[in-house]
Structure 1
Amino acid sequence: MNKKILALIVAVCTVFTMMSVPASALDEGSGVVQTVRAMGILVGDTSGNLNLGRNVTRAEFAKMIVAASSYKDSIGDGTGSSLFKDVKSSYWASAYIKIAVEQGWMVGYTDGTFRPTRTISVEEACTTVLRVLGYGASDLAGSYPTAQMTKASALGLRDDISLSQGGIMTRGNCAQLFYNMMTAQTKAGQVYGVTLGYSLNASGEVDYAAVVNATMSGPYVAGEGGAAALPFTASAVYRNGAASTLNAITQYDVYYYNQNLRTVWVYTDRAAGTITGITPSGASPTTVTVAGTAYAIGTSTAAYKLSSMGSFAVGDTATLLLGMDGTVVDVLDIALSNQIYYGMVLASSRTTTVSGSAAVEKAVQVVCTDGSVRTFTVDKDKTYSKGNLVSVTVTENGTVISNLAARSATGTVNSNGTKIGSLKVAGDVQILDTTSDGAYAVISAARLAGTTLQSGAVRYYALNESGEISHMLLNNATGDVWNYCFLVELTKQDGSSVSPLTGYYACMEDGKSITLTTTGKVYGMEDETAIAYRYDADGAIADMKKLTSFPITELTTLYAVSDGTKRQLSDDVQVYLKNGSSYYATTLSAVDGASYQLTGWYDSFGAAAGGRVRVIIAEAR
């Protein structure tokens, strides 16, 4: 799955507990409930409330079982049939009851009634689910309802449902039952949820992120004034991954929604510049290249506009509206959406000398605050040095690159990263940590929480219309611009006129053995030492430093403690088990202070938000 999609879905479901829990303990934020809700099986009331404690009727269960079957998309706007004398064709659930009865999942009573308002018992519910899974009376040992209850237990259908025979199903019980149903085996030996197109994760649970993605509608482009056509009242809105409101949507934003979850996802990503390529052909375009970056075309609207029959061709300037997966949703005339980028120059090269004048066309490579590296062509004989901070404005009249004057922000970042001193930080702020020689790392505002930024830590920031920081470029403030590894062995090659002085560093990085090479210089490092290194914009190692070690007396998932001093672990801390002269990648959960002697290594380079533990070495006591 695309990382951007996954990140957004994680923003929705980080509070969900994806473990199965007793139905009595289920709440609307649990993973079980939200997964079943995303599938459209459990639907909220007009206010979006799921009312998990309310008893379920036979008519309601008929609707749920159809939504949990391959017939889930077969119910239209019309009504069903009058199969029973107490279910008229105009009854709200008649179509669902018709399918459930015709498929043999549910039955009526001998007096010709269905009794749609009667509550459903756990044995009736389990019997219905067993029939959908393909199990009939001949597959059960014993009589009703004992045989059905026993088989349901054997298949895991009753897991975390405490009801005994005769117990009435609540909406919470139904959520658990249908969740269990998705992972149960059918009579044919298949996982039921998989037969519907859902997938399971490594733990054998329903993949919630995949369910949300599969039941999502979009992309759509917001109209004038940020108008978004939604068939429901939204209960949650996320804009570029941060909690937001519908009022924050502006014209040309790209949005998606999940009607079952009453949730809207909004994206403002755009790419502007000169179109330099449309492939494979104008007759059937699938990819467009703008500002040196190729983008897949994701909608028929965008494909038409970029085709030989559309209004855009190679050489035109345009703005691409990008969806959550980074594909092109629509294409706008650049005049409708002037685009400004902020970033750092990585390289600049002459491309064409204009005959008869001093003007020089240059291609300038810029890493922007969103982490994308874009190449802009400008028609000015101007120097753009590596490491310089610039703004890039793309308009219908061309591209203008301007060097940025320093603009520093100082103060303490609050606990949730929404303020720096007295300055507010936008929910969708873009932050890039940089060095003057071209190294960079994209970071989140939360990464700076609790940090005090002194003068010079921020190289530049820009404000949006609300006076909030929308873009920020830091000056090596986090330590995240470095790569971290554990040096196992350093070897040197003596210099000569043929071969300059060369250093070879055999390291463990991210669980893999790698070799770093420096030419013309060898950094004096000791074997079996954690080190930091970074590349410059040309791909050569620009610097290398030794990390500081300390004995770990206590280790948690967030901190390493040494004699009362607590140091925070980096999000991607590397843990290695030492065995003799060999090192093997392991995990935090696999080591402890009682069984292992632990040594931590942290960056002590003075970065404001640095000092994180990057490497841990565990050696059996």
Structure 2
Amino acid sequence: MRRVISVILIFTLICASSVIQAGAAGAPDKAYYTDSAVRLASLGVIEPVSDSSFTPEALVTRGQFAVMMVTAANLKSDADALKGSTMFSDVDPKSSVSGYIAAAVNNGYILGMTDGKFNPGGSITYAQICTSAVKALGYTDADVPGIWPKNYIDKASSLKLTEGISFKSSDSVPLWAAALIIDRLLDTNVKKASASDSDKSFADASGLFSQCIILADSVTSDKLGDNEVLTDKGILYVKDKAIKLDLGNTYRLLVEKDTIKASYGRLKYTDGISVDGIADTKISYTDEDGKTQYKILPEKTAYYYNGVKQSYDSLKEVVQTRSSIVFAYNSDRTGYEYAVVFDPVYSSPEVANSYRTISNKIGSIDLSGLSVIKDGALAQIQDIEENDVIYQVSDIWGKYKYILVTSNKVGGKITAILPNKLSPKTLKIDGTDYSFSKNMDFSQLGDLSSSLDVDDNIIAILGYDGKIVSVKYSGSQDNSQYAVVLNQSSKVVGNETFYSVKLLTSDGAIGEYSCAWNTEEFKGKLVKVKKLGSGEADLETVVYNYPTGVYTNKNERLLNSNYVTKNVKIFNVISNNSGEDAVAGILNWSDMPEGRITDGEIHFTGITGDFEDVSVILANDILKEKYKPAIIKDITAQTTDSGVSRYSYTMTVNGQDYQYSSNAAGKIGQIGSVFKLKLSKGSIDGDSIINYGAEKSGTVIQAFDSQRIKIDGRVYWFKNNLSVYQVDASGNVTFKTIADLKSNVAYGKISLYLDKPSASGGKVEVIVLR
């Protein structure tokens, strides 16, 4: 088959008008058919060629039209299957069009000639194209009364397939007209089998593509993931990050099941408006020149909001300051076919704790140069008060912004925690339900199992949507800025010295960060983190107060006479040996010893607030963790000159390998055996090696998270210094992390080693996967 047009040339015709005009003397203005030609080329309906010009007046042959229709109907596989066979004497079965002609005839898109031939090289007539398009939509002779071809030409006209096109029935059809008709055919609804059926376009019915309006993405909807978009056809997944879909526009998408595999480009011309204000249905906005403009929302336009079509009267309730409205023009750009309304985009909230107006920043939000709206009224930065909630609000393009401040709080007694304390979704305060915001920082609550309780009196700080973004209770204080330095390093590049630190932060995470260092020795010490992000840390020393004569009353949450906040951060430095990472963890208040604490076991207590509550504690091996869990990684047997057998062991402690040797009589175990032992000056203390059996074993992990694991219907809690190892069939031992665990996967054996019997509250120190 002669190839018709290349995709490159299709796009060239947009810019190179001299090429179009040279070969299109009788064609209408190129703007009338260019969009259709570009879309058909991107879909492969119009095939590529090697010709150097595009001739919109070139007459389409019957063979070419058969290829176009079969491709548009997504029947290429049928054409491939029928290639090599023909029912017409003038169609070479070996030709590239034979399968397409057979598929087009089999599906009723085109008929043979009265003489029994097909005439593939003859021009397609206007009557034949109109008949083919109407039949492709499912209409039969019974649906189109009258005399052919006038009845089919009239039906094509009523379906708007031939709008702006005027030919006689026997006229040959040029390429520009065929492109317009097929492009419109794709978007025209097929005939319904019954009145109850929903509308479906030809393209949707054929599966060539789905025509979808992009109504929301993860930025504009909390209900969508990063790879999801909401369309008028439902929620779809975007497989390829290279597929970019503008909000509010219409696209032709290749959708398989519920996944977008490809996009064939935007279909609409759109205008985007960021709303400054609205009065009834009259909006004000700022144009590109910075001038205020006004616009009445057109009543004939269809409006979408949150994925649902809206009545015109509801718009005054939906549209607000910094709403974004995307208007999509109709085909002749005389008005709008539809518009999509998007809510303002809210940043993560920041709570104004200890805020001072001398600064123009609250947390990550920069207030500089932006208008401030507080509780619905224009305000100043100086009007922001302690515990106010601050948002930066913008349109979906991030172009126009303002600062929203809310001072909505509710205080009272917790009457219920739903569904449970470990995964709270809602607090019932004095009988009223308040949901937690997705931005709620639960780390401020510390150990959820021992923090919020029914009958506690709290103050809930609410965001703009009435959801809880922060909780103030029993002297809770912001202690998230504390961390312990596990290690430090430096390197010299040229004349510059670069420093880095390894931190255990208050949320229990361990990470490495670059920093601007000084001469102080921070390793193993508590610090304040003034800034943490983008791989950088800005640290500040903490002056220890070394309290003595300390007593704990765990039931009353007292450290001497000071109340210990429920979100207290207790850092416990277990060891700080030279040449290796300091070993530290974070304890819960319930982990602390009861009664008198030996002097020297607490180095620092952070006293905060008007009540002088304790919100931070730095402990020095307060649980007296003399022994560390270890696993045998390798064993090498040797015989000395005197004939004595010795065994050299490689034992892993917290992912670090250590060597230990013993004679034959002192053989301590096999590869994969787990022990407790002490380290002395970076070496294993042989006299300290003791065995402890697996408290629990199984083959399937039913569930796990960062704090616990479930095996055989029982839940075991992790210690902060949990070690995970995997022993393969060859006896190779690999250090793993919690993230490497897999639920509902059959292991050969899963062994849990606890620090003490589970009946006594033991926690998992080591997990071995075999």
- TM-score bracket relative to the smaller structure: 0.3 to 0.5
Q: Which has the higher strand share?
A: 2
Q: Larger Cα Rg: Structure 1 or Structure 2?
A: 2
TM-score normalised by structure 1 residue count? 0.37
TM-score normalised by structure 2 residue count? 0.32
